[in-house]
Structure 1
Amino acid sequence: MTDPLARIADALDRIAPPPPAAADPLAHRAYVWRGETLVAAREFDPLPLDHLRGIDAQREALVANLARLAEGHAAQDVLLWGARGTGKSALVKSGVAAVQAKGGALALVEAVTGGLDTLPALFALLAPVPRRFAVFVDDLGFDAAADGRALRSLLEGGAEARPANVRLLVTSNRRHLVPRDLAEQESAINPRDSIDDNLALADRFGLSLGFHAIDQETYLEIVRGYADAHGLAFDPTDAIGWATRRGSRSGRVAWHYVVELAGRAGKSLEN
């Protein structure tokens, strides 16, 4: 007689959904790396670059670096750090799309933040592909120094460092990624060694772009840019009140306000 456990296992295998088919790394503009399989992004339609206001210097630096990567020239790994909602993630996606629009052989690959240990497998997959890739790790932060050391090894110096056709783009609310632990510094034989160990990760990024809280004038400029692009009228006093109730001024808050305006006007928004 067949083992009951074996029959149960066979039945589960039959009803389990098959794993998604791996996407062609030459066929799509953007992908998602789920730790084992590269899949095509369902849709990739980021905001136009000129809709991102108040971050002109960061925009120019990132797009120039991405253009070099697309051309096969020397390019930097990038750390985008700073206040929440200031456009870090939006700029990465819009920057890649802008380079693609000019014919650049570049694709975006968004990697799940919790899967750093699977990045060597992704790098091995992408290394032989005749295309350039910006691997995007969004909202990264560490609770353990071991994670930071793993990423440092991937950036440079390790046996499984990222290949020449791949650069990492990482966003974080922390400038140095790893939290500064005062207790750790106090317990170290040489406190400076502890500090240097934490800062060594941020130092691995050749390009570090800071994003800071914006003033009221810049916030209204961002709202105006979004509103004009979608044919919406707005009252600056109402826009300021929206930000006050949210407790912050940022590009994200401005976009949420414009979504509210569109809803009030009975309109839909594509972005």
Structure 2
Amino acid sequence: MFSKIKEANICLGSITIYRGILQDEVIASLNKLVKYIDNNDIDPLTFAGYYGEFYHILTKNNSFNSFVYYVFKRMIYDENAFSDYASREVTRKIDVNILKSVEHDLDCIQKISQLTSKDIKDYVISALCNDESEKHLVRVLPDWDFSHIPVDESTNEIMELFMSQESWQNSLEALIEFYRVRGSGKFAEYKGFVWENSRNGHGLTGVETPDPVRLSDLVGYELERKEVIENTRFFVEGLRANNVLLYGDRGTGKSSTVKALLNEYSDQGLRIIEVPKQSLSDLPEIIRMVKDKPQKFILFIDDLAFEDSEEKYTALKAVLEGGLSIRSRNVVIYATSNRRHLIKEKFSDRVGLMSNNNDDEIRAGDTIQEKLSLADRFGITVTFSLPDKKRYLDIIDNLAMSRGLNVDKEWLHKEAMKWELLYNGRSPRTAQQFIDWVEGFSCLGSLT
């Protein structure tokens, strides 16, 4: 009889297009386990070590303990020639042999995902002859769950379709549609990214749990936010859109506005990459990385400002100018800043305009204009100013209503004004912090 172990070993070895999943540490550990026990010379202690290592890595990477779910996710988010073609809507150009290879891989991956702990233990026990102590050692090893399929909103529909098919090969068209809508690889798996630099280089790191803030959660500044939302809608619909600078006082919701856009439009292909200021020189590389992807990318720079001696702003300036080598229709830059003029200017800069010092710059006015012009290179600038008393209290009232707080309005306003004096001044952030405090005490029944 052709055992499931030998079948799994052959399947693991014959994957072609989706071969990238073999680099995953869980599947690589399974591969090592299966190859060992398929050689028909099994030492129980060595087997237990391989088995324990696989189980440890599986549970570490998959809290649901569902192997079929884990394998499916690694398959659906693998970035390869087929998924890349499908995401670009050029499936008609895919060679028929590649499509056949994908069907073969789907069949192999399905068989691998259906390998259970019982299959493995039964096979090993049958190979250990009649030594009951060795068989007991195998029997008491922990099992992993095969049947449980966790709720995962990102893949529910496509996964249910695959699981309903007797053969995963029958879901090829659905897989192509998934890639066409969602993209491939990490850009399908994550909607938010951070550009990170480390000793080993730099690259995109997917954000597992992005800030869940929605536009409907943000109270006040509707007119300011409207301009940003309209520009973003143009962008995700494939129309020309502007780079945006959101500047103004701290705590007024500039960063929250950008984060909320991701949750609003990620289903339409919007992705956000947060780029630290110290990595601005990497902007051309980031743009080259995403320029051929079907998604739309906001490069988000938070708290943007430069010292007058910094030169990183030249990289940002080049991108904003839209040089031929780096201009891309699927990328815009959204930046927030507490400064209208992004490069700090000193009085000494202006002294050069009328100085008799031979060491001063002759065209000092040009330097001043260059520093002032960086902000002008953003197509849209939206100002978020601190609210006056009326606007601040309106925000307080709206937040209290959205939280369902049944609190005396006069008391609420009085305490809100105390709070802004004692803490961080008058701002939407202060209002949010105050309402958090009110809600906490309300739940405890301690409000007076």
TM-score w.r.t. the length of structure 1 is 0.83
User: Does structure 2 conserve the Cα–Cα contact (< 8 Å) formed by 1:85 and 1:253?
Assistant: yes
Structure 1 stretches of 4+ with a deviation exceeding 6 A read none
| Residue 402 (structure 2) aligns with | 229
Output one character per residue of 1:119-175: Cα deviation in whole Å (capped at 9) or x when no partner.
Answer: 222112111111101111100110134122221012224465352211000000111
Matched, 1:42 2:208: yes
CA-CA distance at 1:209 after TM superposition = 0.6
Q: CA RMSD in A?
A: 2.1
Pairs within 5 Å for 1:133-148: 133-143=297-307, 144-148=309-313
Match of 1:154 in 2: 319
Q: Which residue of 1 aligns with 2:295?
A: 131
Counterpart for residue 206 of structure 1 = 379
**Cα separation, 2, equivalents of 1:85 and 1:46:** 18
Compute the displacement of 1:34 (Å).
1.2
Query: Could you report, residue by residue, the CA deviation over 1:77-122 in whole angstroms, capped at 9, with x for unpaired residues?
Result: 000111111110011111232233xx42211111122211222221
**Higher relative contact order (CA closer than 8 Å, sequence separation 6+):** 1
CA contact 1:83–1:212 (8 Å) conserved in 2: yes
Instruction: For 1:157 and 1:51, locate their aligned partners in 2 and report how far apart those are by CA, in whole Å.
Output: 34
Tell me how far apart the structure 2 counterparts of residues 58 and 161 of structure 1 sit (CA, whole Å). Answer: 29
**Change in 2 beyond 3 A, CA 1:257/1:24:** same
Deviation at 1:192, TM superposition (A): 2.5
1:164 is aligned to 329
What corresponds to 1:218 in structure 2? Answer: 391
Letter in 2 for 1:51: D
Q: Is the 8 A contact 1:52 1:222 kept in 2?
A: no
One-letter amino acid of the structure 1 residue matched with residue 268 of structure 2? G
| Residue 150 (structure 2) aligns with | none
Q: Separation in 1 of the partners of 2:277 and 2:208? A: 19
Measured after TM superposition, the shift of residue 176 of structure 1 is: 1.6
The residue that corresponds to 1:264 in the other structure is 441
Report the structure number with the largest CA radius of gyration: 2
Distance 1:76 1:96 in 2: 17
Superposed displacement of residue 214, structure 1: 0.6
Select 1:105's aligned residue among 259, 269, 273.
Answer: 269
Identity of aligned residues (%): 32
More off after superposition, 184-193 vs 34-43: 184-193
Please state if 1:252 is matched with 2:418.
no
Q: Deviations over 1:26-68 (max 9, x none)?
A: 3322222214221221212433323323311221110111111
Give the count of matched residue pairs. Answer: 245
Greater helix proportion: 2
Indicate the larger mover: 252-261 or 32-41: 32-41
Match of 1:96 in 2: 262
Using the alignment, how far apart are the partners of 1:150 and 1:181 within structure 2?
22
Q: Quick one: distance in 2 between partners of 1:151 and 1:158? A: 11
Cα pair 1:138 1:170 within 8 Å, conserved? yes
Q: Which runs of 5+ in 2 are unaligned?
A: 1-77, 80-184, 353-360
CA–CA separation in structure 1 for the residues paired with 2:277 and 2:387: 27
* Distance (Å, rounded) in 1 between the aligned partners of 2:371 and 2:389: 34
Aligned to 2:299, the other structure's residue is in SS state: strand
Looking at secondary structure, tell me which structure has more strand per residue. Answer: 1
Counterpart for residue 197 of structure 1 = 370
- Structure 1, unmatched stretches of 5+, are 1-20
Question: Residue 64 in 1 paired to residue 237 in 2?
Answer: no
Distance 1:160 1:177, change over 3 A: farther
